[in-house]
Copies of this chain bind each other. A is one copy, B any other.
Amino acid sequence: MSAGLSDNTAFVAWRVRQQEHVEQALSNWVLADAPAGLGLVMRYAVLDGGKRLRPLLALAACEAVQGDPAVAMRAACAVELIHAYSLVHDDMPCMDNDVLRRGKPTVHVKYGEAQALLAGDALQALAFELLVPDDGSVPAALSARLCRQLAVAAGASGMAGGQAVDLASVGVALDQKALEGMHRLKTGALLQASVMMGASTAALDAAVLRQLSTYGACIGLAFQVVDDILDVTTDSATLGKTAGKDAAADKPTFVSLMGLESAQAYADEVLDQAHQALSASALPHTDTLHALADWVGRRAS
């Protein structure tokens, strides 16, 4: 196990290189020339921002299973487009009403609500389009599988469902189980799908898929626990978004439920489970997935 890799030069170099590749691929695929300025709004929502955690998970999972990296890049960008559209819609006045995202004005502040709504809608469609190129570069069976994974993770039994639970949970005293259930849908489903879509680029047996699925679920949970910790320990400038907003909105968080110290211990425990699942998979090339788990646990924003 190489759980310390996130500190080392090899991982940082991999991460920076892949972030650049993802940025370039997104820039190639999210075209400026969509009608009436819509392409510019979509590019504003997607480019030049974010940690690209979901794409990195997809690419690292592909590396772990020695899959097709070109297909993995499509999967990586597809999950990022879903993530980006969800942020655009989530920031709108009728949802979180947020004005700052990745250190920039949110899309509806910059372009108006109607354009934000449409750009989000178009980004979701584009995510699926990326998975079904007409150039034969992705085998049809793999395209169909990736579309299914993405649709389930993004929809009512995944991300959108989790957001509905989140909406309904303001001011409600959720216990830890209910809170985890909400986040498993709201952020966990797409993070886990990122891993599984990357892994779909190679044929794997069911036992390996189960371990990767556990890894993905643990990453999703740890990500959210750390998010809640950062929300109270870090300022808006560092986060690139409004800090302290969960507490201000009277939303339950792992920190409000467990306290800061226990939340950190819980994040560490869940990440340990992620490392263990990877090790149990017996896949030979999991260094980067291990390092990403550490990165999720130790990130500063």
Chain A residues near B (Cβ < 8 Å): 31, 34-39, 42, 85-86, 89, 92, 94-95, 112-115, 117-118, 120-122, 124-126, 128-129, 131-132, 134, 138, 140-141, 143-145, 147-148, 150-152, 154-158, 160-165, 167-168, 185
Given contacts A144-B132, A144-B140, contact A118 B164 (CB under 8 A): yes
Q: Name the residue on B nearest A151 (C-beta).
A: B129
- How many subunits of this chain does the assembly comprise? 2
- A247 CB → nearest B CB, Å: 20
Instruction: Report the separation of the CA atoms of residues A120 and B120 in the bound assembly, to the nearest whole angstrom.
Output: 11
B144 near A128 with CB under 8 A, answer: no
Residues of the B chain whose Cβ atoms lie less than 8 Å from the Cβ of A121: 85-86, 89, 120-121, 124, 154, 160
User: Which of B35, B151, B168 is within 8 Å of A156, CB to CB?
Assistant: B35
A36 near B167 with CB under 8 A, answer: yes
User: Which of B114, B117, B144 is within 8 Å of A147, CB to CB?
Assistant: B144
Instruction: Report the separation of the CA atoms of residues A94 and B113 in the bound assembly, to the nearest whole angstrom.
Output: 6
A161 near B36 with CB under 8 A, answer: yes
A156 near B34 with CB under 8 A, answer: yes
Residues of the B chain whose Cβ atoms lie less than 8 Å from the Cβ of A156: 31, 34-35, 38-39, 42, 122, 125-126
Looking at A114, A115, A117, A121, the one whose CB has the most chain B CB atoms below 10 A away is: A121
Q: Name the residue on B nearest A141 (C-beta).
A: B140
A165 near B125 with CB under 8 A, answer: no
Q: What are 15 contact pairs spanning A and B, CB under 8 A?
A: A35-B157, A35-B165, A36-B164, A89-B118, A114-B167, A117-B117, A118-B164, A121-B160, A122-B156, A125-B151, A128-B128, A129-B148, A131-B147, A132-B145, A143-B147
